[in-house]
Amino acid sequence: MQVVTLTLSGETLAVPTRNLREILEPVPVTRVPRAGRFAFGLINVRGAVIPLTDLRVALGMTRAEPDEHTRMLVLDVPVAGEQTTVAVIADRVLDVTEIDDAALGDIPEVGMKWPPEFLSGIARTDAGFVILPDLERIYAASLGTASGTPQYDKEI
């Protein structure tokens, strides 16, 4: 599987390139009143209004201040059965690489720092472990609560 690797809060994540539209340097963000911490604003990408999200919120990671390495990944993600375009903040984009199916491991039930329901797997690489977030489940959860605020969008 071909993936783009990125870092969030010192951890390496991988997103399939089939979901990737483009990588942007940070652009102005329009804050949305009463928006949660996960989907907190909107960005303009060549005339299209795209929600900006922070996977660190869903994965229970600490937030970092943007710096010269911060990027925004524009992704097409299945949400409620339809392809939806979203943007994700990354502390740094590392590389486009291949992850062999043999390198993919199951998510351990003990000792995980991240919510296992939001992971599709963990890969072993020469550089260490790479987290594969389950984007479809993460974004479905952002829509799936009665209050309209996902469980992971509460203060951590």
Kindly state whether residue 151 falls inside one of the protein's structural domains.
no
Kindly state whether residue 153 falls inside one of the protein's structural domains.
no
We report the CATH number of the domain holding residue 139 as: 2.40.50.180
Helix (H) / strand (E) element for 6: namely: strand 2-8
The predicted-structure confidence for 99-144, as pLDDT tens digits, reads as follows 887 777 777 666 667 787 898 888 887 778 899 999 999 998 886 5
Whole-number pLDDT of residue 109: 66
Mean pLDDT throughout 28-56?
92
Kindly state whether residue 150 falls inside one of the protein's structural domains.
no
Sign (positive or negative) of CA dihedral 19, 131, 72, 117: positive
Q: Which domain holds residue 76?
A: 2-144
How many structural domains are present in the chain? 1
This prediction's pTM: 0.85
Any residues with CB less than 8 A from the CB of 76 and at least 6 apart, and which?
19, 21, 83, 84, 85
Kindly state whether residue 156 falls inside one of the protein's structural domains.
no
> Which of 1, 38, 2, 7 minimizes the C-alpha distance to 129?
7
Kindly state whether residue 136 falls inside one of the protein's structural domains.
yes
